[in-house]
Amino acid sequence: MSDHQEDSELERLPDDWERALALVAHPDDLEYGTASAVARWTSEGKTVSYVLATRGEAGLDRPPDETGPLREAEQRRAAAVVGVETVEFLDYRDGMIEYGLPLRRDLARAIRRHRPHVVLTLNRSDTWGGPSFNMADHRHVGLAVLDAVRDAANRWIFPELLEEGHEPWADVALVAFMGSPTPTHALDVTGFLDRGIASLREHKVYLEHTGTDPDTMLRSWAEEAGRALGVEHALTFEVVRP
């Protein structure tokens, strides 16, 4: 986890919106912190939908055809804990996502279908702010999300989406990157951290595989970000505006 910027440099994440769409690579990408924000937003009546590029089938030491359905089920349970009803999968191969036109097209299609005001995705940077290299799936999806937001707004890009009945959508106000080493904004999640932790705990088999302690990890991150924002618990995001 990266060092957070000083309080004076962190703006509060805007909350004047109705619908958010999370576009990430794997089951559990959203549960490493962001689920606490989702719990807050859904409690306020906002709609948050999840679209995942893969089913995480390469994430366990067992055959992919067994792992994929298991991790999909864990993701659906994790989403339900924080009030998310819509969870979709694009069926890209876990660990082998390539940046390119097919990925941009599929993400643009999702944006046009869900018509969000805010798009959430994961850190697209090479690292997490330290020596740990960020894997290709995260980097490629994050970059493609930025392009897909503009693609979704332009009727002349991917005209086949129009033929499918997906009209352009140009009302994405911001893209928020979770886990960025260069955060610009923060969100107070005081009172919602426990639901975020419970959401991550639904990835039971995956956590057993990694040996992760959700409570200790998420609580320490939220406390660190909270100190930067001047609250008990917070999350940080890098915000880019289309």
Task: Enumerate the β-bridge partners of residue 122.
Answer: 178
Domains of the chain by residue range? 7-240
Tell me the average pLDDT of the chain.
95
For residue 50, pLDDT beyond 70: yes
DSSP assignment of 73-125 equals HHHHHHHHHTT---EEE--PPTT----SHHHHHHHHHHHHHH--SEEEEE--S
For residue 41, pLDDT beyond 50: yes
In the chain, at which residue ranges do the beta strands (DSSP E only) sit? 11-12, 19-24, 47-52, 87-89, 118-122, 174-178, 185-188, 234-240
CA distances from 177 to 42, 117, 174, 215 (A): 19, 15, 10, 22
**Helices 136-153 & 101-114 angle (0-180, nearest 10):** 60
For residue 12, pLDDT beyond 60: yes
Task: Enumerate the β-bridge partners of residue 115.
Answer: none
What confidence category does residue 3 fall into, taking pLDDT thresholds of 50, 70 and 90?
very low
Sign of the Cα pseudo-torsion (232, 236, 241, 242, in order): negative
Please tell me whether residue 31 adopts helix, strand or coil conformation.
Answer: coil
Task: Enumerate the β-bridge partners of residue 23.
Answer: 51
The domain made up of 7-240 is a member of CATH 3.40.50.10320: yes
- Which of residues 3 and 16 earns the better pLDDT score? 16
Query: With contact defined as beta carbons under 8 Å apart, do 174 and 239 qualify?
Result: yes
| Residue from 124, 122, 119, 123 nearest 169 by CA | 119
CA distances from 107 to 102, 112, 149, 161 (A): 9, 9, 8, 11
pLDDT of residue 1: 40
> For residues 143 and 107, what is the distance between their CA atoms, to the nearest angstrom?
11
pLDDT tens digits, 125-184: 999 998 889 999 999 999 999 999 999 999 999 999 999 999 999 999 999 999 999 999
Please tell me whether residue 224 adopts helix, strand or coil conformation.
Answer: helix
Centre a 10 Å sphere on the Cβ of residue 205 and count the other Cβ atoms it contains. 14
State phi, psi for 26 to the nearest 5 degrees.
Answer: -135, 155
Please tell me whether residue 65 adopts helix, strand or coil conformation.
Answer: helix
